[in-house]
Structure 1
Amino acid sequence: VGVRGFKKGQLEALATIEVIEGDISKMQSGVRTDDIIVSKDAAKHFGFSVGDRVEFTLGTKSVVCYIGAIAKQSGYFLDDAPYLMLGLTEKFSSLILSPPSENLCNEIHIVLQDKSKVEQTIK
């Protein structure tokens, strides 16, 4: 299972999330920090429905989340293997930080204004 966290309000900064069931607005605004988004395939594979409780454990620490939305196999979920789950960094960071922080980053994405100049930008 892959887990990717975002700061509140930035869930769709890199890709649009096409929601099939549920709602991401409260997660986006930070009202529901314990919600996660899963793909349709992940929901089917694990038997998830909106509102279901999911627990993530890393070592001796655990985080409880709830399925807030199920999304189409597009955008973040296009290559959904292992199954990706999206949530807020503040929630997931509590697995490795105390106190948790929304300022944790393990990937950096750059959006180019001119996508034809990738090679020049990477130098």
Structure 2
Amino acid sequence: MSKARNTDLPTEAIVAKFEMLTPMLDSALLEMREFSKKKQDGVLNPLKVKVLNRLLYDLKEILSADPSTEYLDLLDDESLPQNSDAVLILGQFRAAMDQFRIKYFGYYNGTHRWLTVENPKTY
């Protein structure tokens, strides 16, 4: 685990939002993988792009302090991406979230917990 300064840590509110959105991203990724299996070059409709981008926008805010956000893109709502494009983008967000969890969640003082601004690592 890298040593993070308290100012680098997420807040309890960010962690709560992270935990709320994680299953939503997992569900969206699973659904898009299924769509992609059936029709890889199928185009997403505007409603799907809007719903997915709302989720991705919030996740990008959560991950804003992480260098990986430079590589995280929202879905293009003008050219409407193909199913396989959406799978790629959702997968990148999932990988960034996994890195976030590895960085800030661990076993400290006898319990599994998040390191947060309000509850930093203590020795």
TM-score range, shorter chain: under 0.3
| The structure with more strand, counted as a fraction of residues | 1
Relative CO higher for 1 or 2, CA cutoff 8 Å, sep ≥ 6?
2
Normalising by the residue count of structure 1, what TM-score does the alignment of the two structures yield? 0.27
In terms of fraction of residues, the more helix-rich structure is 2
Q: Specify the structure having the higher radius of gyration (Cα).
A: 2
